[in-house]
Amino acid sequence: MGTNTLLPESTVDALPRAVRELLRKRGLIDSAAVDAFLKPDYETGLANPFLMTDMDKAVDRILLAAKKGERVAIFGDYDIDGITSTTLMLETLKWQGIEATTYIPDRYAEGYGINIPALEKLKAEGVGSGGLG
């Protein structure tokens, strides 16, 4: 008994049309590029975070806050990657036993980025703060 159904030749072929189109718009058109994007190797595919300016100082400050039992504020951003990274940082700090809270500025009233009144409010609430973009 014959069949007209062909198995997909690649990861790309097996994806829904809308996903293939989004990947194409990102310049990912061959199977190797798509596989690398959809199934990243976290051991070799990520940049060293300590290449960012003052990352060592940020880590040291978080470790000091943990040692002293200080509350930490994560100053996030209101866009999707800002909310996602803020949530990841909050969960990571809590997992490490660090008491943390978040602050997402009001887009219209406070604008973009860290602002002095927000930092003063956090300080008045008894928390130290670390930035997160």
Model confidence over 27-78: pLDDT tens digits? 988 888 888 888 888 888 888 999 999 999 989 988 998 998 888 899 898 8
Answer yes or no: do 33 and 63 share one domain: no
Answer yes or no: do 117 and 63 share one domain: yes
CATH number at residue 75: 3.40.50
Instruction: Count structural domains, the chain.
Output: 2
Q: Which two tokens stand for residue 67?
A: 């040692």
Answer yes or no: do 32 and 64 share one domain: no
13 compared with 103, residue with greater pLDDT: 103
Q: Which two tokens stand for residue 56?
A: 């060592």
Q: Give Cα separations from 2 to 5, 6, 8, 9, 62 (angstroms).
A: 9, 11, 17, 19, 64
Answer yes or no: do 120 and 62 share one domain: yes
Q: Which two tokens stand for residue 63?
A: 């470790």
For residue 98, give every residue at least 6 positions away whose Cβ sits within 8 Å of its Cβ, in sequence order, or none. Answer: 62, 65, 66, 72
Q: Which of 9-18, 48-57, 104-113, 118-127 ranks highest by mean pLDDT?
A: 48-57
Answer yes or no: do 37 and 56 share one domain: no
Q: If you ran DSSP here, which 8-state letter would residue 50 be given?
A: G
Q: Give the separation between CA 17 and CA 22, rounded to whole angstroms.
A: 9
Q: Domain limits at 97?
A: 49-131
